[in-house]
Structure 1
Amino acid sequence: MSFLPRATVLMSNIVDNWRTLDALHPGATTAAVVKADAYGLGAARIGKALKTAGCQTFFVAYLDEGMALRKAVGKGPRIFVLNGPMRGELAAYRDGELTAVLSSDLHLKLWSTAPRGTCAIHVDTGMNRLGMSPALIDTEATAIRRLAPVLVMSHLACADEPQNPMNLHQRRAFEDVADAFPDTPASLANSSGCFLGRNYGFDLTRPGLALYGGTTPPANVQLKTGVILEATIINVFKGARDTTVGYGATYPLTEDRLLATCAIGYADGLMRSGSGKLKGWVDGVACPVAGRISMDLVTLDVTDGPKAIKPGARVEFLGEHAKLEAQAAACGTLGYELLTGLGPRVQRHYR
């Protein structure tokens, strides 16, 4: 029996989430963002499943990711590479039928020498990360049209805060850009942007984390769990009163408690910042983390857990009970970081 942590990727739920998000914007294309190996869950397997379900547009971050995804999904779907091209990569974009996202004047100059490839234009409407300035779009509009971009896009900075005025500011700025390219499809909405209303949908939406069960959708949108992360209990014992648990002796026991040690730690993606805050679910019962999470192990207080807990029992750290965003909040982070932080020892199973 293996004690390695296990992530069960629920493929049908991910496909259902894509369909749910697609229904929010009738008439628009719904893409799938599968960068960072589909947020740690396996881009090749997920890309194939989404293609079978009807998804024909994917986004990755790097050329290598795009090439691997092309091999997995075959010809047909369009694959955008968000970080854009570097010198020496142009032929690979052409041969892999990958679409380069151009984000700077240097990208424009480089792509003008490309041997027959497709491109998209990324405009910065306030994120100040990647993207051409609207002023550059104005001065280089003719040169950009000459490249025949297949998409013009921008990225929302505060979409997870629906009332933030930055959303409206960016949408209006992007409308001006989209109007300058009336014959080119436009895209603004990321996962949380999909929930801001149809005015944010434009021609194409780009959900990522929401596909895998993350983000905080409005009450009328129900997303399904994308992954179940489980670990094995390898020891159950009595923690005596007036002793402590874990490194730094940060968890004092004021009475005898039943403790269980699980074979998972921060090397597997169970963040150390969740020490004393995270919970694990044993047979549907929440049991708090006792003391600090260490590299390979975490201790739970199972005193109030199911009766007769024994070594070999499985503990859910992400799943139907251990909701992704709630567990992320307990670690002081977001679902993005929890998923992409799942370590190489975590065995991926697909169901």
Structure 2
Amino acid sequence: MSFLPRATVLTSNIVDNWRTLDGLHPGATTAAVVKADAYGLGAAKVARALKIAGCQTFFVAYLEEGMTLRKALGKGPRIFVLNGPARGELAAYRDAELTAVLSSELHLKLWSTAPRGTCALHVDTGMNRLGLPLAMIDTEATALRRLAPVLVMSHLACADDPKNPANLLQRRAFEAVADAFPDTPASLANSAGCYLGKGYGFDLTRPGIALYGGSTPPANVTLKTAVVLEATIISVFKGHKGSAVGYGATYLLTQDRMLATCAIGYADGLMRSGAGKLMGWVDGVACPVAGRISMDLVTLDITDGPKGIKPGAHVEFLGEHARLEAQAAACGTFGYELLTGLGPRVQRNYR
């Protein structure tokens, strides 16, 4: 028996989440963002499952990710590379049939010399991260249309706050972009943007974290768990009153407690900031983390857990009980960071 942590990736649930999000915007195409190795869950296998289900448009961040995904998916599906081309990469975009997302004037200059592949235009509507200046839509529209973009897009900065007025301001700015390219599909909505209503759907939506069970959907949208992260208990023992648990002796036992040490730590993605806040579930019962999280180990207080816990038992740190966003909040972060932080020695299994 291996003590390595295990992440069981439920590809059928990811597919169901994609279908749920697709149903929010009838008439629009629903893509899948699979950058960062599908948020740590394995881009090749996740994307293949989505392709079988009908997804034909994918987004990654880097050329290298796009080339790897093309090998996994074969010809046919569209693959957009969000960070755009660098010098020396132009032929690779053409050869791998990848779509370069152009978001700077440097990108435009590079692409004007490119062996002709396909491109998309990313326009900044208020996030100030990546994107062509909005003014270029007025001053350079004719030149930009000559590039024959297959998509115009922008990115919402505050979609996870539905009441934020920035959402409507960005939508209105993007409507002007879409109007300037009437024959080109348009895309604005990320995962949270999919929840903002029909006005944000345009022609293509780009969910990412929501595919993997993250984000905070409205009450009428139910997302399924995409990954179950489990660790093995390797030691069960009594901690005595007056002693402390873990590095720094920060967790003092005020009474005798039953403790269990699990083979998982911050090297595997269990964030150190979750000390004293994270829970591990043993047979569906929540057991709190006791003391600091180590590189390879974490200790749970199992006093109020199921009776008879022994070494070899499994502890759920993500799953049906250990919900992604709740566990992330306990670490002071969000689901993106927990998933993408899953370490390389976490065994990925697919079901």
Deviation (angstroms), 1:113? 1.1
Deviation (angstroms), 1:324? 0.2
| Cα distance per residue 1:24-76 (max 9 Å; x no partner) | 00000000000000000000001110000000000000000000000001100
Match of 2:93 in 1: 93
Deviation (angstroms), 1:112? 1.0
Deviation (angstroms), 1:137? 2.4
Question: What TM-score comes out, normalization by structure 1 length?
Answer: 0.99
1:324 corresponds to which letter in structure 2?
L
Aligned equivalents of 1:137, 1:27: Cα separation in 2: 26
1:129 corresponds to which letter in structure 2?
R
* 1:212-291 superposed matches below 5 A: 212-291=212-291
Match of 2:51 in 1: 51
The yes-or-no answer on 1:135 pairing with 2:126 is: no
1:149 corresponds to which letter in structure 2?
P
Match of 2:184 in 1: 184
Aligned equivalents of 1:88, 1:252: Cα separation in 2: 58
Aligned equivalents of 1:294, 1:166: Cα separation in 2: 41
| Cα distance per residue 1:245-274 (max 9 Å; x no partner) | 111111110100000000000000000000
1:301 corresponds to which letter in structure 2?
D
Deviation (angstroms), 1:143? 1.2
1:310 corresponds to which letter in structure 2?
K
| Cα distance per residue 1:81-119 (max 9 Å; x no partner) | 000001111100000000000001111111111111100
Deviation (angstroms), 1:142? 1.2
* Residue aligned with 1:134, SS: coil
Match of 2:175 in 1: 175
The yes-or-no answer on 1:70 pairing with 2:92 is: no
Aligned equivalents of 1:169, 1:251: Cα separation in 2: 48
Aligned equivalents of 1:345, 1:47: Cα separation in 2: 22
2:315 corresponds to which letter in structure 1?
V
Aligned equivalents of 2:277, 2:251: Cα separation in 1: 12
Aligned equivalents of 1:234, 1:125: Cα separation in 2: 52
* 1:333-348 superposed matches below 5 A: 333-348=333-348
Match of 2:204 in 1: 204
| Cα distance per residue 1:215-259 (max 9 Å; x no partner) | 010010000000000000000000000111111111110100000
Match of 1:14 in 2: 14
Aligned equivalents of 1:126, 1:325: Cα separation in 2: 27
Unaligned runs of at least 5 residues, structure 1:
none
Aligned equivalents of 1:83, 1:138: Cα separation in 2: 24
1:91 corresponds to which letter in structure 2?
A
Deviation (angstroms), 1:327? 0.3
Aligned equivalents of 2:6, 2:140: Cα separation in 1: 50
| Cα distance per residue 1:285-317 (max 9 Å; x no partner) | 000000100100000000000000000000000
Match of 1:36 in 2: 36
Percent identity over the alignment is: 86
Aligned equivalents of 2:58, 2:175: Cα separation in 1: 23
Deviation (angstroms), 1:171? 0.5
Calculate the aligned-residue CA RMSD, in Å: 0.5
Match of 2:193 in 1: 193
* Residue aligned with 2:241, SS: coil
Deviation (angstroms), 1:139? 1.7
Aligned equivalents of 1:79, 1:345: Cα separation in 2: 28
* Residue aligned with 2:171, SS: helix
| Cα distance per residue 1:188-210 (max 9 Å; x no partner) | 00000000001000000000000
Question: What TM-score comes out, normalization by structure 2 length?
Answer: 0.99
Aligned equivalents of 1:110, 1:163: Cα separation in 2: 39
Match of 1:113 in 2: 113
- How many residues are aligned here? 351
2:260 corresponds to which letter in structure 1?
A
* 1:324-335 superposed matches below 5 A: 324-335=324-335
* Residue aligned with 2:135, SS: helix
2:42 corresponds to which letter in structure 1?
G
Match of 2:301 in 1: 301
Aligned equivalents of 2:312, 2:151: Cα separation in 1: 52
| Cα distance per residue 1:155-183 (max 9 Å; x no partner) | 00011111111111111111111111111
1:98 corresponds to which letter in structure 2?
L
